[in-house]
Amino acid sequence: MKINLVAVGNKMPGWVSEGYEEYSKRMPRECALQLTEIMPARRSKNAQPEQWKREEGQRILASIADNHHAVALEVTGKSWSTEDLSLHMQQWLSDGRDVALMIGGPDGLDPSCLQRADQKWSLSALTLPHPLVRIVLAEQLYRAWTILQNHPYHRS
């Protein structure tokens, strides 16, 4: 199984890339984490946020195969503890399909992405900067993996 982090945004600061890579490289081959960066919509004075979300949503969906298990990172989604995430990860591994985690741009995910999602997950009720979400998500995925492996990294 591969976990594909599909995130709107490119040209991240070095600290974001370093933080993400630190946890991504820790993931085992059977649960590899990869990043697909989606070009953000071009913001202009004449366009509207709904138009930007639609454009980004089309790009996100184009990068996800039909057979992938899609998870939308959405503030209105269900909140999971780290232990919950490890249970979901176990289900994903058992299912055998690749997983796509969708992170929208500054205006959020387009409704088409939410419709495509098999699950909706809220990392926090807080508004988090999108670059930071990449690092938090990579670390939590690694932590969930260590729980499944009975590795001492996670301490309850």
Binding site as annotated, residues = 73, 104, 123-128
Which amino acids are annotated as binding site for S-adenosyl-L-methionine, given as ranges?
A: 73, 104, 123-128
Cβ atoms of 102 and 113 within 8 Å: the answer is: yes
Contact between 122 and 79 under an 8 Å Cβ cutoff? The reply is yes
Cα–Cα distance for residue pair 9/156, rounded to 1 Å: 33
Determine the Cα–Cα distance for residues 41 and 47; give it in Å rounded to an integer.
10
DSSP assignment letter at 45: S
Q: HSE-up of 151 (CA within 13 Å, CB side)?
A: 14
Strand order in the sheet with 2-8: 32-38, 2-8, 99-103, 69-79, 119-122
